[in-house]
Structure 1
C-alpha cells in the first residue's frame, strides 16, 4: 500500500527518510531544487537517539571520522583577547559539518532523484496525489512528504501560507566561508556589539572556516531565495562596524557564492499531515539554529515516519497519526531554546558584560554537565520497526 512516495528536499531529513523507506520496501523519489547536493552549511550535532539511527544506517563510523574537533566557544573584546570561554565538548555528541553528513546519507540511500526541480502544484484525492513540477512532467504518487526546510513549498501548498506557522524570534543570522587565519584553531570565536554578533567557527579537522553573523531586528521584508539581497542586508547591517575582525570576515563572507541568510524562527504546527501529504524536518518543526537540535530531530523524525508507515503496511491514515504523536514530545522539548540567543547576542553593552562574567563562572560548565547527564538517563533505543504481517 502507498509504495510510490515523493520526498521534496534532499537534505538531512529527506535523505534519511528516503533511506528508510527504501529499506522497508517503498519506492521513494526525491526532488531537490538545487542542481545537486548542497555541500555547504555549518556544524550539526548527532546525539542521543540520532546516534542510534546513524548506527542502524551504518554511517556512524564515518561520522566519527569526519567529526569536527571544536572544543567550545570563546568571547573576545576589540583587541581579540578572550574574556570568557565555555567548553561545549560532549562525549555523547558528535559534531559534523552539514555538507559532510548529507554526502554520507546520499551514499547509503537508494532512490530516484530529480535535481534542479521543485514541486509547483499538489492535487490529492482518495487514491493518490497528482504532482506538477517546475520542469519534469506531471506525475502521480501515493504519498508526498515535504522535507524542504523552514520555507517549505509543500507546506505552503498543502497547509497554507508560512506566516501561519513560523514564529519569528527577533533575530536574523548568516554564515559563509571565511579565512581560517582569522580564528583560533578548534574554537568558535565570537565578538559582540549591542544587539549583534560576529564570529568565526574553526575546526582543526577542516581547512575551511565559517564566518557567522547575527543581529537583532524587527521583521524584514525580503525574498528568502535572493542571495544578492541577503548579502545586501548583512552588508548594510555590519558595514559601519570596524571593530575586532568584522570587516575582514564580512568581506570573506560576501565573496562566498554559498552565503546563507535567514530569519531565526521556529515552525509550530498542530499536525504534520493533511490527507496523503505530510511534513518532516524543518518544514514541520524547525527548532531554529539556536536549539542545536536540527540534525537530531531530522534523523529521528525521518526514521520514525518511515518506520510507522512500514509497521502498518503503508496505511498513511494510521502511520501519520502515530508519527505525529510519538515524535512530538521530542520536538516540543528541543524547541525550548531557553537563554541561548541572549547568551550569543546580548541586547545591550551592560548585558554583554553580565554575560561575560557569567560565562567565566564554573557554573556554566556545571550546567552543561547536568544537561548531558539528564539526556543520558533518557530513553536511548528507538523502536525496531518491522512491516505489518
Structure 2
C-alpha cells in the first residue's frame, strides 16, 4: 500500500507538484439559482483569456475535493473514464482508521467494478449473540447487527478507504494541505482558486469538472451553491462512537449489546478481529448546547441522573478514557439539485444520509461509480452527464434519506411510544407467521440497499 506523502508532493514519487503560473483572475459569478442553464454563465472565448488557462492535453481535467470514501472513489472512477484527476485534501496527510459501518450491495457492486471489493474485509464476529440489557443487568436475547443491517458487510471506514486508495493509479495527483477558496464558472470550464495551507500561496487553475466530496460541511457546496439557505437539516439527535480496548465485562468478545430507553440508546457492536465498538445515540432539544461542554459531560447528562448500573457505567467510563472518539450531531443535507454547471457534489456533501440509514458509504460508492458511467455516456457534454446522473440517482437517495429518519426509531426510540413499538416489533419478529410478514415489509428496503444503481442506468 502506498505510504503517506507530505503536503505538496504528488503520488508520482516524491517530486514537487507542478504548480502553474497564476493566470489573470477572471471574475464572474455563475449559476446562482435554479437549474443550470447556459445563459447564466459567461461565454468567454479562449482568445480573451490568459493563454495559461488553456489545457495542454486533449484529456479532460477534473478536480476532486476531499479524500474520503466518496472522493477517492470519484477520483478512481473518473480516471477510468479517461479523465486527468487532481485531488485536494485539507489535511496534511490521509486520515487513517475510522469507526464501524455497514456496506450493502449497492456499494459492493461499485467496489467490485472498481477492483477493490475483495480488499474490504467483513468483520462480522462468528457465533455472535446479541442481548438486550437494562441498567439492572438483566439480559435477554435481542437484535444485533445482522438484524438491523441484514445483507451487509460489517467493516470500518478505514478498510474501505485503504482499499480504494490502494486501487488509485499513480497518475492521480493528490495535494495535501490544499483547499479551494473560489470558483468561477464558464461554459467550457471552471476556474478554481487553490490555496496551499503550508506556503499560504494561491494559484488559479482551470478544470472541466469540479467534484465536491468534502463532507457534510462542504466548502465546495458553500462556494458553488450560496447564497441559497443552508441545506442542512438537523434530526435533533447526537451520536458518540468509540472503540473499546477489551470486551464488555461479563460478555464474550463476540457478544453484542443493546440498551434502548426512551430518547436514548447504546449499542455495542462486536468484530471478528478487534475489540467491539460502541455507539451512544440520544435525542436533544438543543444541539448547540451539546457542544458547549466536554462530550463525556453531555453523555452523562443525557443518560440521566439515575444509577447507570455496572454495564452502562463501565461504557461511559471507557468513553472518558478513550484516546479518540467521534461526538457529533446527526444532520441530513437536502438540495434541489446536486450540481451547478460543471460543479457536482457527491456523498455527504450532497445528501448525508446519517448512520441511521446505514447507507452512507454505499451511497457514496454508488454515486461516484454512476458519475463515471454518465460521463462516459456523454464524454463531451458535462452538463448533460450531470443532469442524467442526478435523474438516475435521485430516487435512490431520496428513499434512503427517508429511511434515515424512519429507521432512527428502531436504533434510538425517540419517546415511550416508539420504545413500546420497537419492543412489540422485536417480539413479533420471533413468531413464525408474524416474522414472515415483517420480512415482506422490509423487502423494499433490502432491495433498495442492494440496488446496483450504475448497472440499472446502463
What TM-score, normalized by structure 2, do the two folds share? Answer: 0.74
Structure 2 Cα separation of the partners of residues 222 and 134 of structure 1: 34
Consecutive unaligned residues in structure 2, runs of 5 or more: 1-57
- Which residue in the other structure is 1:196 paired with? 264
| CA displacement, residues 139-168 of structure 1 (integer Å, 9 cap, x when unaligned) | 413121111111111111211379621121
- Partner residue of 1:177? 243
Displacement of 1:332 after TM fit? Answer: 1.1
Aligned residue for 1:146?
212
Alignment of 1:132-281 (within 5 A): 132-133=194-195, 135=197, 137-142=202-207, 143-160=209-226, 164-182=230-248, 184-203=252-271, 205-221=272-288, 230=295, 233-234=298-299, 236-238=301-303, 240=305, 242-244=307-309, 245-281=311-347
Aligned-partner Cα distance in 1 for 2:124–2:236: 30
Q: Residue in 2 aligned with 1:28?
A: 85
- In 2, Cα distance between the equivalents of 1:4 and 1:212? 41
Q: How far does the alpha carbon of each residue in 1:271-319 deviate from its partner, in whole angstroms, 9 at most, with x for none?
A: 0011221100011011111111111111110001122122211532111
Unaligned runs of 5+ in 1: none
Q: Distance in 1 between matches of 2:452 and 2:144?
A: 24
Equivalenced residue count is 382
Of 375, 382, 388, the match for 2:454: 382
Partner of 1:109: 168
> Distance in 1 between the 2:257 and 2:384 partners?
48
Moved more, 282-291 or 363-372: 363-372
Query: 1:11 corresponds to which residue?
Result: 68
Paired residues of 1:121 and 1:133 also in contact (CA < 8 A)? no
RMSD between aligned residues: 3.2
- Provide the secondary structure at the position in 2 that maps to 1:181: coil
| Distance of aligned partners of 1:52 and 1:246 in 2 relative to their CA distance in 1, 3 Å threshold | same
Who is 1:345 aligned against?
412
Q: How far apart are the structure 1 equivalents of 2:318 and 2:382?
A: 47
> Aligned residue for 1:358?
425
1:59 corresponds to: 116
Name the SS for the 1:45 alignment partner. Answer: strand
Q: Deviations over 1:1-20 (max 9, x none)?
A: 77221111111111111111
- From 70, 86, 93, the equivalent of 2:152 is 93
Give the distance between the partners of 1:77 and 1:7, measured in 2 at CA.
Answer: 46
CA change 1:156–1:181 in 2 (3 A) is: same
Aligned to 1:49: 106
TM-score by length of 1: 0.86
Contact 1:159–1:274 (Cα < 8 Å) also in 2: yes
What pairs with 1:298-317 in structure 2 (closer than 5 Å)?
Answer: 298-317=364-383
Q: Indicate how the Cα distance of structure 1 residues 216 and 53 shifts in structure 2: closer, same or farther if over 3 A, else same.
A: same
Judge conservation of contact 1:68–1:97 (CA < 8 Å) in 2. Answer: no
Deviates more, 1:150-159 or 1:174-183: 174-183
Match of 2:180 among 119, 123, 128: 119
CA distance in structure 1 between the aligned counterparts of 2:214 and 2:294, rounded to whole angstroms: 21
Q: Which is greater in Rg?
A: 2
What is the CA–CA distance in structure 2 between the aligned matches of 1:263 and 1:23, rounded to whole Å?
36
CA distance in 2: counterparts of 1:10 and 1:131, whole angstroms: 19
C-alpha distance 92-116 of structure 1, shift in aligned 2 (>3 A): same
1:197/1:379 CA distance change after superposition, 3 Å:
closer
Preserved contact between residue 144 and residue 277 of structure 1 (Cα < 8 Å): yes
Say if 2:387 is the partner of 1:321.
Answer: yes
Structure 1 residue 108, shift from structure 2 partner: 0.2
Q: Give the drift of 1:358.
A: 3.1
How far is 1:351 from its partner?
A: 4.8
